[in-house]
Amino acid sequence: MSSLPPRTFGVRLCLAETNEMFSLPQCQNDLTLKKLKSHLELLTGIPLHFQRLQYLDEMDLLDDSTFKDNDIIRGGTITMRIWRQDGWGHLVAAAAKGDIVKVDSVTLLAHLGVTEDFAGTTPYAEILGPEQKKEWVAHRAFVALFVASHRGHVRTATFLLRHGADVHSKTPLGRTALHVAAVMGRCDCIELLLSCGARALDPDSEGRTAVSLARLWGQQQSERTMIRFKWQKKSAAAVLPSSSESLAMLETSGHTS
């Protein structure tokens, strides 16, 4: 006699720093928090290593614990908080609000350590040496780009890329800003990231690319945008002569003139 499939149920997740609510319809009692965090990185745009999950009280839930261990039930609300150290919560909130707020969030982000001009904005940053501070800024710029791309804030993403945010940087799960933009169907951000060198076929730690994730999440327009960009790039390369062909054309032109 075959065993019945595990029962699924829905819960909600509240991101405390932004008051955003997310739906989690396919939960199970044996689901671990570690596995949930991997999914939440895509759903919320918050890198796994910044996620603090809580339920009913302010105690952080252990990664290896399950929904059953924590008595998480149908219709319950899990709270996600960002690690408070070094102003990360403020940075994530500013990047998430992005282009939609009346206050200039780009200016706010600049003062939260995403550019070298305003790097010394926290007590921790003040004690860093020049090279360490560059790494600190680069990491903050990437996290802001990751969150802004997930929310579809093109202006914010453009600002970050112009000020040195690395389009190839990845979360501990191997995901780039393009991965989350593709999952959320943010086609304007997808085009921006691709034009800055993002690679649609870079796999994450689970072997999924931005293209395959777009397909998995039902984002057909994201998939089309990435495929179209690839073919446009190939077509442009085919039209432009190679360096050797260009040299030959110049030499021929010189002989006939």
pLDDT in tens, 183-210: 999 999 999 999 999 999 999 999 999 9
Contact present, 116 and 164 (Cβ < 8 Å): yes
Same domain, 144 and 227: yes
Helix locations, 83-219, DSSP H: 88-97, 105-110, 123-126, 130-151, 154-162, 177-184, 187-195, 210-216
Same domain, 139 and 227: yes
Domain membership of residue 210 (yes or no) is yes
220: its two tokens: 């057909």
| Domain limit, last residue, from 66, 82, 98 | 82
How many residues can be counted in the chain?
257
Q: What is the pTM of this model?
A: 0.87
pLDDT digits (tens, 9 = 90+) for 67-95: 999 999 999 999 999 988 888 999 999 99
**Degrees (nearest 5) of the Cα angle 112, 47, 204?**
130
Range of the domain at 34: 9-82
Which parts of the chain register pLDDT below 50? 1, 101-103, 243-244, 246-247, 249-251, 253-257
Contact present, 167 and 198 (Cβ < 8 Å): yes
Same domain, 54 and 126: no
Same domain, 163 and 112: yes
C-alpha to C-alpha distance for 191 and 97, rounded to whole angstroms = 21
234: its two tokens: 């190939």
Same domain, 73 and 102: no
